[in-house]
Structure 1
Amino acid sequence: MSKKKKFRMIDAILLVICVVFVAEAAAPVAAIGNSQYFWWILLMLIFLLPYGLISSELGTTYDGEGGLYDWVRKAFGSRMGSRASWYYWINFPLWMASLAVVFPDMITLITGAEIGTIPALLIELAFIWIIVFISFYPVSDSVWILNGAAVIKVFLALLLGGLGIYVALTQGVANEITVSSILPSFDLDSLSYVSVILFNMLGFEVICTLSGDMENPSKQIPKAIIIGGLVIAGIYMFSAFGIGVAIPTADISTSSGLVDAIILMTNEPTGLLVKVSAVLFLLTLFGNMISWSLGVNSVASYAAKNGDMPKVFKHESKKNQMPTGAALMNGIVASVVVLIAPIIPNQDLFWSFFALNLVMFLLSYIPIFPAFLKLRKIDPDTPRPFKVKGSDLFLKILALCPMVVIIVSLIFTAVPLSFDSATLEATLPITIGAVIFIIIGEFICRQNKGEVTMEEQNENT
């Protein structure tokens, strides 16, 4: 039997970049205006840093394939773990659908050929099921795809930032940078974009679910998170600055993407640079989906084995033990979403699907931070290869900051805070979709086996 391939340190760092860094999300955030710089820096300090530290401790202490589900279940029991695993899983097929609907437009941009509704649906379905097929195989078999996607993402972000600076130097700064323009207005529009910035910072726990593919997870996980996090923070700021100085804020919207930003900078919708960027962008979508599917499927499968997700999710390949049940469910749900998309009236499909995926995704993260505090209390004797230093007060603040940020961003993304027709049309579908999936999650979590928490296990022994 051949020896299973293992992640090297550089592979682990590139995996973090591939998972966490979402190159195409820099442009929508720029729609905030110059206050994006304030939000990037603030959220790096009060969200990215504590989230990275907490994920490093939990991921190296409880390094099984259950990831965030396992952390939450150990702290708060089976039902809360079931909720977390459901929210975490359902976001993925919704996200896959949101990217699938972008694919035909990118092909039209590259080739110049108009694509009808049926061919577009076939392209979207092909994208979805290629991802499903690749996720039938171990992550180590796909490491070249993940590494390649990470390198392409960094290149595109540097291109975006460098091109923006060049445009600003040769044609003038599009948005004058002043102290007053950098300070946030705290209006509904700008606050609704905070969740998009958060999305750009999530995913550290995915690398924890792949510890079995690493040479030395207790060392590789924290180093990869710290180094990868620093690289990602720097690249985000550089690309955000390039977009901000080159493109007027009024020309950018939530549906704008990386390629749209390059078109606006070059003013050549069919230029060679735009087409090459579009091809590279499509390649990064495969890297995004493959890296996330491997982590999400592992969590869903692990939860199903504990009775906290439907039984279909625990089906595995007899050949390599990959969670094929979860992968197939990804494909089925994403396919249903793209098939009903054409009958949804007057909606920005990418933003509608993406925002709904974002809401479910953020919900799964809320219990991680109190779980960190509770596991310190009820399970202090388990060795922690990486342990966050600080007093009890510091640790409470460290956990509270990202949790509060998530709750606030959820309110501004999923709750209609004004009742004009434009707001209701944009927000109500997200609200209704989130409520439906929460109800389904509640039904699932009440079917579980009711396993006891680690605290109850400790009391029993």
Structure 2
Amino acid sequence: MEKTTGLKRSVGVTSGISLVVGTVIGSGIFFKQAQVIATAGGSTPALLAWIFGGLITLAAGLTISEIGARIPLTGGLYIYMEKIYGKVWGFLTGWAQTVLYAPAIVASLSAYFAILFNNFFGLSQQWQLLVAILTILFITGINLLDNRVPAAFAVITTSIKLLPIIAVIAYGLFFGKVDALNQSVATVTATPSGGFGMAVLATLFAYDGWATLTNMGGELKNPQKNLPRAIVIGILIVVVAYAGISYGMMRAMPANEIVRLGDNATFGVVTQAFGKLGGRLLTIIILISILGTINGKLMALPRMTFAMAEDGVLPKWLAKVNRFNEPIGSILFLTVTASLLQFTASADWLSNIAVFIIWIFYTATFVGLFILRHRDKQAAQVAEPLQELESIFSVPGYPWVPLIAILGALFVLISTLINDFGSSIIAIGLVFIGLPVYWYYSRKKGEAYD
């Protein structure tokens, strides 16, 4: 039986695609080019790393799309994990995103925005904290209005952020004089993190955010069709954009020069193509791009917290909606926690921990598709069927596509554990701190633990 909420089904497929693209494409594509080339050891393996990372992400998106079509409810991974593995694991999924992933990712994005904003306007570092918090408050204000407003903001910012990507691709294709393929670099990353595999890992971090839309399953129009469409089309656009800008940059500038310029490589290509004014315009567009990404997070992630509060496993005030039927309690909770995190760890540490945690639950959810299909085979009828078989999206290439998603997820987790074991264990510990909270609310509701 589908849960009823105070949220409206008013988000269409175009807004859904914009949310996927806008949430994924932030600043990473503009700053990761040199890292991927240096880690991979040359231009051809770097380009392949972006493509491989995109294929893994597409496999993940297809897998989640079928699960989301079967369970078209507000709450995303929280609802999926609860339906597949039971209430304890559903709660821990939601808890991890509410208290760790969502605040950490919003805090890190706003910190990156503040750094770039201050550099552009020549402000001293002491303004960084204030700018970051004001950025969060600005996007919060947009998301407290009718959800058509942040949805429109997502469409606008996504359209704007694609402009420099298209420009770099076009410049590289039509005016670039460098052979983009078969270039080697003089200084390959000489650390345990070097190699093609770690280059793919770097791209997977840049692709993160594609599953954010699943949190809004209860607000999408016709979610059984539009959720898979939005996720798959959105990921395909991102893959083309990422591989395209990588190829375009390597056509415009030698790989060694890109590695030498590091984070400034994209600015170097744009300045080469369009002059100093072009470089400054790129900075403005990247700032808009990051705002769009923060908007996507603040638009979708509070829906999961809202769903948990509606279920009675978090304080009821988190399920409060305003006159626009927006989950004001959950949105403001994310606003406050993300703002407080500005006073703690660095943006890089926060973003790395956030991505590691979310991939733990991605992995379990991918495996869950096999469980759901097995249940369908075991019984023609169940007490509360998730969705009629003939009306749902099915993953093409099953079981190989979900297996690719699972292997990619395991690669992310194992690589992160090897490279940052201490932080990974801290993050896992913070997840399991949620168990006493779950026991408290289960006892309060008079339910048995499961």
Q: TM-score range by the shorter chain?
A: 0.7 to 0.9
Which stretch of the first structure deviates more once superposed, 196-205 or 278-287? 196-205
Counterparts of 2:423 and 2:137, CA distance in 1? 24
Cα 1:186–1:138, aligned 2, differ >3 Å: closer, same or farther?
Answer: farther
Deviation, structure 1 residue 158? 1.2
Deviation, structure 1 residue 276? 1.3
Deviation, structure 1 residue 166? 5.9
The superposition leaves residues 272-296 of structure 1 with CA deviations (integer Å, 9 ceiling, x where unpaired) of: 1111111121112121111122221
Q: Which residue of 2 aligns with 1:411?
A: 414
Q: Over the residues paired in the alignment, what is the CA RMSD in angstroms? A: 3.5
The superposition leaves residues 139-198 of structure 1 with CA deviations (integer Å, 9 ceiling, x where unpaired) of: 3222221101111122121123234446632xx45x6526999xx999622433433322
Deviation, structure 1 residue 98? 2.0
Deviation, structure 1 residue 305? 3.2
The counterpart of 1:58, out of the listed 56, 67, 82, is 67
The counterpart of 1:154, out of the listed 159, 162, 168, is 162
Q: How is 1:274-353 mapped onto 2 (pairs within 5 angstroms)? A: 274-308=279-313, 310-311=314-315, 314-340=318-344, 349-353=346-350
Q: How is 1:321-400 mapped onto 2 (pairs within 5 angstroms)? A: 321-340=325-344, 349-379=346-376, 381=381, 382-384=387-389, 385-388=391-394, 395-400=398-403
The counterpart of 1:201, out of the listed 197, 202, 207, is 207
Residue type of the alignment partner of 1:71: Y
Verify the 8 A CA contact 1:72 1:368 in the aligned structure 2. yes
Cα 1:413–1:440, aligned 2, differ >3 Å: closer, same or farther?
Answer: closer
Verify the 8 A CA contact 2:75 2:216 in the aligned structure 1. no
Cα 1:48–1:185, aligned 2, differ >3 Å: closer, same or farther?
Answer: farther
3-state SS of 2:11 partner: coil
Q: Which residue of 2 aligns with 1:110?
A: 120
Q: How is 1:51-130 mapped onto 2 (pairs within 5 angstroms)? A: 51-89=60-98, 90-111=100-121, 113=122, 115-130=123-138
> Which 5+ residue runs of structure 1 have no aligned equivalent?
342-348, 417-426, 452-461
Cα 1:199–1:291, aligned 2, differ >3 Å: closer, same or farther?
Answer: same
The counterpart of 2:433, out of the listed 430, 443, 447, is 443
Residue type of the alignment partner of 1:378: R
Cα 1:109–1:314, aligned 2, differ >3 Å: closer, same or farther?
Answer: closer
Counterparts of 1:255 and 1:7, CA distance in 2? 41
The superposition leaves residues 391-437 of structure 1 with CA deviations (integer Å, 9 ceiling, x where unpaired) of: xxx63433232122122222323433xxxxxxxxxx4xxx4443333
Counterparts of 1:244 and 1:282, CA distance in 2? 24
Residue type of the alignment partner of 1:434: S
Deviation, structure 1 residue 137? 3.3
The counterpart of 2:152, out of the listed 144, 151, 166, is 144
Counterparts of 2:192 and 2:175, CA distance in 1? 30
Verify the 8 A CA contact 1:27 1:252 in the aligned structure 2. no
Counterparts of 1:254 and 1:100, CA distance in 2? 27
After TM superposition, the score normalised by the length of structure 1 is 0.78
Q: Which residue of 2 aligns with 1:457?
A: none
The superposition leaves residues 261-320 of structure 1 with CA deviations (integer Å, 9 ceiling, x where unpaired) of: 123552699921111111121112121111122221111221233355x42773423434
Counterparts of 1:311 and 1:92, CA distance in 2? 17
Identity %: 19
Counterparts of 2:105 and 2:29, CA distance in 1? 13
Deviation, structure 1 residue 18? 1.7
3-state SS of 2:10 partner: coil
Deviation, structure 1 residue 30? 4.3
Q: Which residue of 1 aligns with 2:40?
A: none
Verify the 8 A CA contact 1:87 1:363 in the aligned structure 2. no
The counterpart of 1:31, out of the listed 21, 32, 35, is 35
Cα 1:91–1:37, aligned 2, differ >3 Å: closer, same or farther?
Answer: same
Counterparts of 1:148 and 1:254, CA distance in 2? 34
Q: Which residue of 2 aligns with 1:459?
A: none
Counterparts of 1:100 and 1:401, CA distance in 2? 33
Report how many aligned residue pairs link the two structures: 417
Counterparts of 1:80 and 1:251, CA distance in 2? 48
Counterparts of 1:132 and 1:24, CA distance in 2? 23
Counterparts of 2:252 and 2:231, CA distance in 1? 31
Counterparts of 1:319 and 1:129, CA distance in 2? 19
After TM superposition, the score normalised by the length of structure 2 is 0.80
Q: Which residue of 2 aligns with 1:40?
A: 50
Cα 1:261–1:307, aligned 2, differ >3 Å: closer, same or farther?
Answer: same
Which stretch of the first structure deviates more once superposed, 79-88 or 198-207? 198-207
Cα 1:358–1:8, aligned 2, differ >3 Å: closer, same or farther?
Answer: closer
Counterparts of 1:176 and 1:437, CA distance in 2? 39
3-state SS of 2:245 partner: helix
Q: Which residue of 2 aligns with 1:273?
A: 278
Counterparts of 2:102 and 2:238, CA distance in 1? 22
Which stretch of the first structure deviates more once superposed, 359-368 or 64-73? 359-368
